Amino acid sequence: MDYTYTILILLLPFLSFLVLGLAGKWLSHRTAGLFGTSVLGIVTAMSYYTAFTYFTADRINDVFPTLVPYNFTWLPFFDGNLHFDLGIMLDPISVMMLIVISTVSLMVHIYSFGYMHGERGFQRYYAYLSLFTMSMLGLVVATNIFQMYMFWELVGVCSYLLIGFYYHLKPAVAASKKAFIVTRFADLGFLIGILIYGYYTGSFSFDFTNTAVYLNGAQPGVEEGFSKAIAGAGFILPTALFLMFIGGAGKSAMFPLHIWLPDAMEGPTPVSALIHAATMVVAGVFQVARMFPLWIQYAPETLHVVAWIGAFTAFYAAAVACAQSDIKRVLAFSTISQIAFMMVALGVCLPENGFTDNHASLGYMASMFHLFTHAMFKATLFLCAGCIIHAVHSNEMAYMGGMRKYMPITHITFLIACLAISGIPPFSGFFSKDEILVAAFEYSAVMGWIMAGIAGMTAFESIRLYYGIFWGTENKEYHEKHVPHESPAVMTVPLIILTIITLTVGWCLPGSFGSYISATGTPYHIHLNWEVAGTSIAIALCAIVLATWMYARSTQPVADKLQATLPQLHKWAYHRFYLDEVYQFVTHRIIFAYVSRPIAWFDRHIIDGFFNFLAWGTHTLSYNIRTFQSGRIQQYALVFLWGVIVLLIILLIP
């Protein structure tokens, strides 16, 4: 199969960015939106075609081959032994990510027609969306770690631009800077890990197997230093991999690098759906999955550390989400929790024959499955939230309640997505979450029960959010000023499409997803473990019943009494356990006060003072000797004569 067209999957969104960015001000809103959306429609069609042809092609040794349609050496080092390559690589997880990114991005493009209607900077908004889509697509099809890092940083830049789209609002500017600084700090770890890995192994490849099939004249890289990597596996590779994971933890908002994501909700809601629900925040998960052969072979114990970091993050985020009143912040912390679920799934893979045993590495398949399903129902939740905010002009649940009467389509789609994230069959989230729980129980009973409990917390907070928006006490006084109404078709159609995917993908893929994506690449037909599934369903139903009992009424006496009984706990959870304040204290009161300011004083007074002194001395000296340049020959001759006399005296004195 000829995959030369795949280069257009990257070039077309970049072309859209250039056209909208350079000529957007001369285009109408309608023309700019149609152009950007049409380009994404073509990219989506090509992505689906690529997936169809790839997954229906013949396997090689019962494994889907890794294909490289394009690859060329950009910068060689050390006589070509170490080099930076650029290209396109197609394998099961990259092809799956093409589907996820293009689908969600297309829905966001269509949805934004209605949500961003009449907004200043409409053309600029679509230009940023196109650039982000190109960057994310380039990240998932990268042929090597360094190319991934290039697009990784470009994704961060796009996130900064989109979060700060409303640059005239101080909260948006502060949120964009916060996201940029926190993720850049994490990316420093990623870069250091890449440099250690490349220096020691002599390669930037994702693994040492070198089994990729190079197409269309693409040149394979130099054989990797396999034996060298083996020798250093005891320390070097685990260290390098964990440093790279720090970059992934920043992108995927893992504790304690999660603080940027809730504030990033200051950006337009469609941006939250695209970046902070379905694409950018899973980049860290994708990074670990891409380098999974290295993790499972050379750093299994470090991989388990990743699992426990993910478990704590999931619990923390779920606890905070239960106390939030801003619907976008609830969804933001819910996203952090679900991304942590994916990290846990990767981290609980067992090293015993993990690279050759699909069952031992069940978490790998479960993580990718949940990444796929979560992208669809979480994008649905964010887009529904956008419809609700668009209708009531507020993010706070206090201004909502009773919205089911005004927004029936949004109500139904939001409910289905809530049931999916809660893990209720037959919705897609049930099937993917069940596989994660099975993998967690295979790793340890403690981890399994912890994740099952956190899944129950997720169900509770999701249903709490649902009742608070659609069933709670209606703020009739506020609704008289802002009469709620259903969103136009251009906003509801993407909701319906994503909801259909959420409803059907669970039935279509639970047994066959492993046939396409597994740890070893060979088909892995999974079956529901009804012992685990029954337990998770029971926990989720108990959580839903509890949330219904507490929040389904027009008044919430139970919730109010619980808050009154434990006011400090609620306050701490509402304020995210004051981690933002801790960061503020550490940065402003310690780092800025005792490190940055002394350094700034030293730079301003010592460094700058020294050079200012040199400039003053030069100026003073030149000012005083200027009289020597009089233009009179007699004076020059006299100076010359005295100079000769002084030299003679020096030479004659013994």
- ω into residue 256 within 30 of 0, thus cis? yes
What's the predicted TM-score (pTM) here? 0.87
Which residues, at least 6 apart from 127, have a Cβ–Cβ distance to it below 8 Å? 16, 17, 20, 21, 24, 36
SS3 72: strand
DSSP state, 61?
T
Find out whether 239 and 257 touch, Cβ atoms under 8 Å: no
State whether residue 555 is helix, strand or coil: coil
Q: How far apart are CA 438 and CA 445, in angstroms?
A: 10
Kindly report the backbone phi and psi dihedral angles of residue 74, in degrees, each rounded to the nearest multiple of 5, phi listed first: -90, -55
Whole-angstrom distance, CA of residue 426 vs CA of residue 71: 43
**Measured in whole angstroms, how far is the alpha carbon of residue 357 from the centre of its chain?**
29
The two tokens of residue 643 are 């100079």
What per-residue confidence (pLDDT) applies to 316? 92
**8 Å CB contact between 288 and 248:** yes
Q: Provide the token pair at 243.
A: 């440093």
Contact call for residues 434 and 529 (beta carbons, < 8 A): yes
3-class secondary structure, 164 = coil
Q: Going by DSSP bridges, is the β-strand pair 67-77/213-214 parallel, antiparallel, or unpaired?
A: parallel
- Do residues 536 and 433 make contact, with C-beta atoms less than 8 angstroms apart? yes
**What residues form DSSP beta bridges with 86?**
72
* DSSP β-bridge partners for residue 5: none
Question: How many Å apart are CA 539 and CA 541, to the nearest integer?
Answer: 6
Is the backbone peptide bond immediately before 426 cis, with ω within 30 degrees of 0? Answer: yes
Using alpha carbons, list the distances in angstroms from residue 504 to 243, 387, 429, 508: 38, 23, 11, 6
SS3 category, 485: coil
Determine phi and psi for 253, rounding to 5 degrees: 60, 45
pLDDT at 644: 87
Q: Are 335 and 378 in contact (CB under 8 A)?
A: yes
What crossing angle do the helices spanning 92-115 and 122-140 adopt, rounded to 10°?
170
Residues 169, 42: contact at Cβ < 8 Å?
A: no
**Which of 424, 450, 426, 448 minimizes the C-alpha distance to 438?**
448
CA distance 485 to 490: 14
Confidence (pLDDT) at 343: 93
Q: HSE of 423 in the Cβ direction (CA atoms, 13 Å)?
A: 32
Burial class (CB in 10 A: 0-12, 13-18, 19+), 152: buried
Question: Cα–Cα distance between 343 and 361 in angstroms, integer?
Answer: 13
Tokens of 96: 């799956």
Q: Where do runs of H (alpha helix) occur along 116-169? A: 122-140, 145-163
Question: How would you classify residue 84: left for phi > 0, otherwise alpha for psi between -120 and 50, otherwise beta?
Answer: beta
Per-residue b or e along 626-647, where b marks 16 or more CB atoms closer than 10 Å to that residue's CB = eeeeeeeeeeeeeeeeeeeeee
- Which residues lie closer than 8 Å to 260 by C-beta, 6 or more apart? 175, 178, 179, 182, 183, 253
Could you tell me the sign of the dihedral formed by the alpha carbons of 262, 468, 313, 587, in that order?
Answer: positive
Cα–Cα distance for residue pair 575/434, rounded to 1 Å: 31
Task: State the pLDDT at residue 326.
Answer: 86
**What distance in Å separates the CA atoms of residue 527 and residue 583, rounded to the nearest whole number?**
45
Beta strands in 222-287 (DSSP E): none
> For residue range 105-123, what is the model confidence (pLDDT) as tens digits?
999 999 988 888 878 888 8
What number of other Cβ atoms are within 10 A of residue 485's Cβ?
Answer: 12
Distance CA 204, CA 85 (A): 9
Q: Which residues of the chain have pLDDT under 70?
A: 1, 77-82, 209-212, 215-234, 352-357, 479-480, 482, 507-511, 654
Amino acid (1-letter code) at residue 135: S
Residue 507 CA, chain-centre distance (Å), reads: 28
Q: How far, in Å, CA of 185 to CA of 188, rounded?
A: 5
Contact 162, 305 (CB under 8 A): no
Instruction: List all residues 6 or more positions away from 14 whose beta carbon is below 8 Å from its beta carbon.
Output: 130, 131, 134
DSSP type of residue 63:
B
Query: Burial, 447: exposed, middle or buried (Cβ in 10 Å; 0-12, 13-18, 19+)?
Result: buried
